[in-house]
Structure 1
Amino acid sequence: MLIQGAEVDGVAGVDVRIDPGEGGRTGAGRIVAVGRGLAAQVGEDVVTADGGALIPGLHDHHVHLRAWAATRWSVPLGSVRDPGEFDRRVRDGAVSAPSGAWLRGVGWHESTGGALDRYRLDALTGARPARVQHRTGAMWVLNSAALRVVGAENAGPAGIERDASRAPTGRLYRLDDWLRDRIRRAEPDPFPAALSALTGEAAARGVTRFTDATPGRDQSETDALAALAIPQHLTLMSPPGITGPGVGPHKIVLNDTTLPEAGELAETIRGSHRAGFPVAVHCVTVEQLVTLLAAIEDAGGLPGDRVEHAGVVPPGSAVRLARQGIAVVTNPGFLADRGDVYRRDVPAPERDWLYPVRSLLDAGVTVAAATDAPFGPADPWVAIAAAVTRRTPDGEVLGPHERIYPAEALRLFLEDPDRAGGRRRIAPGQPSDVCLLHVPLEVVLRDPSSTHVRATFG
């Protein structure tokens, strides 16, 4: 393919030739020539850019594809304002769902929807199996019918919460794979069609790469996702020992209620490093980050080690991250989506430390960004704008000193946190997945929006 008359790095009238690689597989090709006046070759597709900027395709560095696809057949609960609205949506969903189908709700949070257990769900859904996912993705709540279907009444793993009488409360913690396996036997899998729709929409926003950050993936799940025919190049976080194309770092989830000692975490990190796997450690609180820093300073870093989210980064931590060579994958889109909730619920001293970027960059930390879809806004341009303004839904600014320039915000989706200094650009030898914009980049950066995306290639 030859793209003619594009703006590249601020220079107008540039032509770019792409070799899509063997079989045209996403991520297999390379940019082979960049210059002026490149002549079209016989049989070559030619695209006229009309002065629009050509940039590398965006890499969304932390998503959960199965959970994201599942939102396509789910009742959205993230925007409910009170328990009454929650009840109405769940009750209406139970009435309108096809006969025999499960009801699935997503985005529930107790701060707006109220506390939830099997008995409240029973009153809303009756005999229809129902499950509702917490906004964080860490917990599911099942009604009594669903508990019976998956065999959780009298058996199952430790993540099934039980009351004093050993009856399940309906709350299941970090049991996605266990739950999915049992539900799959009871209902057809709508995942392929839903995934096709959402990856097409992501391509229209300029996204050509995903890193799926779902923890605990086994070999069969890795093989199934690696075989997907989607427009994006896919990296899969996987435990040590998992093999296959696109296998990424080992995801480690830290939780305040089960937070290991720093020495224990250091040994887990060393084990991953010995197996040749860098680690990607989920940290959203000060306690989790402090524990990780102590552990990584004990275990030593490996190129590709990274912190997922870094939700709260207290002063002094950025320098320690930089010293160990640990990258940070942050989620500025959360500020635009949940910032007013943070202003209400996060202690005042920590509000200015939420999802920082400027202080990390100034300390020399490699920083990339992600949407965390479906748990954050799926459009990376929302995150780009939020990194610049740091405005909450109610118009306030959280941590104004952490704002960055628009060009820096765009680079967060072009960075490669698994390879230091691995930022992609339009140059010979670089990967061929590119994004063509309607207008010059300066115009886009004044108003970051996916409406500026014309097409993706490669």
Structure 2
Amino acid sequence: MIIKNAEVNGIIKDILLEKCLITKIDNNISGSNFYDAKGDALIPGLHDHHIHLNSTAVAINSVNCGPPDISNEIELIEKLNYPGHGWLRGIGYHHSVAGEIDRCWLDKNGPKRPIKIQHRSGRLWILNSAALKLIGNNKTPDGRLFDDDNSVRYGSEFPDLKPLMNTLYSYGITGVTEVTPSNGVKEYLNYIDKVKLLKIDIMGRSDLTFSESKYLKIHYHEPDLPSLERITQEIKSAHQHGKNIAAHCVTRSELMLVLAALEEAGPVEGDRIEHAAITDDFLINWIKKLNLIVVTQPNFMAERVDTYIKDVDDFEQENLWRLKSFINSGVRLAAGSDSPFGNSNPWFAMESAVNRPRGFENEALSPEEALSLYLKPPYNAGGASREIKEGATADLCLLNMPWSDARMNLNNIKPRATWIGGELVFNGVN
């Protein structure tokens, strides 16, 4: 295929795609199989470096139970009681809506059908009596199940990923990193079977020993953090088995524990910090010293700023979801959505990185810096941004405008077409 009249780095060119690669970039390449870009910008395909595919696929048919869609108890009760039958699955709940709801609250205020609601942290499920009965749980009287996704799963073991894949293609996404900490052999094989075209990197548990799975996901939370000795040994063991680690670090305490353990174990090129949500200058310098990669979520500042202002200590707010400081300090930075806990649209996240909420502008990025967070190589979030050049893999995204217009409002971008390995997987024209 030939992509004609595409803007590549500000210059109109034709691009020849052959055998999964960009084989020629020139003027007036002839051929009958072509796509006319009409002067719009062509960029490398985007990579979401932090996503939960199965959860996101299920969330498509779930009810949003938290901010910004739902802000109080009355709205939540109304939403839960919309007509329907079978399982009701809610997502995104936050205690600011109706407090610490439980089984009794759902039995009283919800419909007479099985209900399970996920807290937006991803760690907590709240079930009503009907749901608890169906999953065979009679040991959790309050219906609040922590870190127990396997017990809550009911019915089909894995969701259909096709609708989600089509949505990701429409954003210009050509690859993802699947970061769910409970990923094991069954999950891995399901992803490999169902995700045919998308470049996918899968991290997970220590028993996920396929050579292609190169990351152990370390996923601990306050207030139940392990000892320094235990997490240090986990890191050492992963490294000894040829794996990198990717550590969940939202709070200051989580990050400090992981950094101390990495320093003790000895970091390995490719080790990652996921989120780094609260990071002061001291911690940024420590991350730089250990030569770690940070994978952040710029979208959360836009999605959750009101909650952060209420819940995060004043002295920590300047350290929330920093971006520019990482780049200025030489820390390698990439981005992912953390969908379904965050918006899966990368253009929304990029706009959020450029136009931060009032009071948080100091960490804003330029449009080009924001875009670069999604151009890192599929299997190396710390690598150099991919470019459109001869010999490169033909993973491409055609925007709906030239870059000079797109950079002024990234949230207005609606890609026209997406190619993976030279194959057209999304065509917005049709």
Q: Within 1, Cα distance between the matches of 2:409 and 2:157?
A: 39
Distance 1:276 1:240, change over 3 A: farther
CA deviations 1:85-130 (Å, max 9, x no partner) are 212222x14xx222xx111111111112322111111113465221
Deviation at 1:255, TM superposition (A): 0.2
- Please tell me whether the aligned partners of residues 218 and 246 of structure 2 are also in contact (alpha carbons under 8 angstroms): yes
Q: Within 1, Cα distance between the matches of 2:192 and 2:210?
A: 8
Give the corresponding residue for 1:74: 62
Distance 1:230 1:97, change over 3 A: farther
Give the corresponding residue for 1:152: 137
SS of 2:133 mapped into structure 1: helix
Distance 1:86 1:66, change over 3 A: same
- Which residue identity does 2:376 align to in structure 1? E
Corresponding position: 1:123 with 2:108: yes
- Please tell me whether the aligned partners of residues 247 and 274 of structure 2 are also in contact (alpha carbons under 8 angstroms): yes
Give the corresponding residue for 2:401: 439
Q: Within 1, Cα distance between the matches of 2:76 and 2:302?
A: 22
Corresponding position: 1:388 with 2:354: yes
Segment of structure 1 superposing worse, 221-230 or 406-415? 221-230
Deviation at 1:418, TM superposition (A): 2.6
Segment of structure 1 superposing worse, 364-373 or 117-126? 117-126
- Please tell me whether the aligned partners of residues 444 and 452 of structure 1 are also in contact (alpha carbons under 8 angstroms): no
Give the corresponding residue for 1:18: 17
Q: Within 2, Cα distance between the matches of 1:245 and 1:455?
A: 33
Corresponding position: 1:85 with 2:85: no
SS of 1:214 mapped into structure 2: coil
Distance 1:344 1:125, change over 3 A: closer
Distance 1:229 1:256, change over 3 A: closer
Match of 1:457 among 389, 408, 419: 419
Match of 1:36 among 19, 27, 37: 27
TM (normalized to structure 2)? 0.92
Corresponding position: 1:238 with 2:204: yes
Mapping of residues 112-191 of structure 1, within 5 Å: 112-125=97-110, 127-154=112-139, 162=140, 168-180=141-153, 183-184=154-155, 188=156, 191=159
Q: Within 2, Cα distance between the matches of 1:126 and 1:420?
A: 48
Deviation at 1:148, TM superposition (A): 1.7
SS of 1:257 mapped into structure 2: coil
Q: Within 2, Cα distance between the matches of 1:414 and 1:450?
A: 19
Q: Within 2, Cα distance between the matches of 1:110 and 1:290?
A: 27
- Which residue identity does 2:17 align to in structure 1? I
Deviation at 1:222, TM superposition (A): 0.7
SS of 1:67 mapped into structure 2: helix
SS of 1:87 mapped into structure 2: helix
Deviation at 1:244, TM superposition (A): 5.0
- Please tell me whether the aligned partners of residues 266 and 295 of structure 1 are also in contact (alpha carbons under 8 angstroms): yes
- Which residue identity does 2:283 align to in structure 1? S
Contiguous gaps of at least 5 residues in structure 1: 22-28, 155-161, 163-167
Distance 1:220 1:368, change over 3 A: same
Match of 1:303 among 244, 251, 269: 269
SS of 2:386 mapped into structure 1: coil
Deviation at 1:198, TM superposition (A): 2.5
Mapping of residues 180-219 of structure 1, within 5 Å: 180=153, 183-184=154-155, 188=156, 191-192=159-160, 195-219=161-185
CA deviations 1:222-271 (Å, max 9, x no partner) are 10111114552222112244255853411111201111222321111111
CA deviations 1:274-322 (Å, max 9, x no partner) are 1111111111011111111111111111122111111100122112112
Deviation at 1:428, TM superposition (A): 2.2
Give the corresponding residue for 2:425: none
CA deviations 1:44-64 (Å, max 9, x no partner) are 631111111110111111111
Distance 1:429 1:197, change over 3 A: same
- Please tell me whether the aligned partners of residues 77 and 110 of structure 2 are also in contact (alpha carbons under 8 angstroms): no
Match of 2:375 among 403, 414, 437: 414
Q: Within 2, Cα distance between the matches of 1:63 and 1:6?
A: 30
Give the corresponding residue for 1:404: 365
Deviation at 1:346, TM superposition (A): 0.9
- Please tell me whether the aligned partners of residues 366 and 420 of structure 1 are also in contact (alpha carbons under 8 angstroms): yes
- Please tell me whether the aligned partners of residues 238 and 248 of structure 1 are also in contact (alpha carbons under 8 angstroms): no
Q: Within 1, Cα distance between the matches of 2:381 and 2:353?
A: 22
Q: Within 2, Cα distance between the matches of 1:270 and 1:237?
A: 17
Corresponding position: 1:106 with 2:91: yes
Q: Within 2, Cα distance between the matches of 1:243 and 1:295?
A: 23
TM (normalized to structure 1)? 0.86
Q: Within 2, Cα distance between the matches of 1:66 and 1:419?
A: 22
Deviation at 1:401, TM superposition (A): 1.9
Q: Within 2, Cα distance between the matches of 1:420 and 1:334?
A: 21
Contiguous gaps of at least 5 residues in structure 2: 421-430
Q: Within 1, Cα distance between the matches of 2:30 and 2:315?
A: 59
Give the corresponding residue for 1:254: 220
Distance 1:450 1:302, change over 3 A: farther
CA deviations 1:409-452 (Å, max 9, x no partner) are 11011123735434211112322110011222121111102534
Segment of structure 1 superposing worse, 137-146 or 233-242? 233-242
Segment of structure 1 superposing worse, 428-437 or 290-299? 428-437
Q: Within 2, Cα distance between the matches of 1:230 and 1:449?
A: 28
- Please tell me whether the aligned partners of residues 273 and 292 of structure 2 are also in contact (alpha carbons under 8 angstroms): yes
- Please tell me whether the aligned partners of residues 435 and 455 of structure 1 are also in contact (alpha carbons under 8 angstroms): yes
Q: Within 1, Cα distance between the matches of 2:310 and 2:89?
A: 29
Cα RMSD (Å): 1.9
- Which residue identity does 1:129 align to in structure 2? P
- Please tell me whether the aligned partners of residues 16 and 34 of structure 1 are also in contact (alpha carbons under 8 angstroms): yes
- Please tell me whether the aligned partners of residues 205 and 450 of structure 1 are also in contact (alpha carbons under 8 angstroms): no
- Which residue identity does 1:173 align to in structure 2? F
Q: Within 2, Cα distance between the matches of 1:295 and 1:379?
A: 34
Percent identity over the alignment is 34
Match of 2:388 among 426, 431, 454: 426
Give the corresponding residue for 1:97: 84
Give the corresponding residue for 2:314: 348
SS of 2:194 mapped into structure 1: coil
Deviation at 1:149, TM superposition (A): 1.5
Give the corresponding residue for 1:228: 194
- Please tell me whether the aligned partners of residues 303 and 419 of structure 1 are also in contact (alpha carbons under 8 angstroms): no
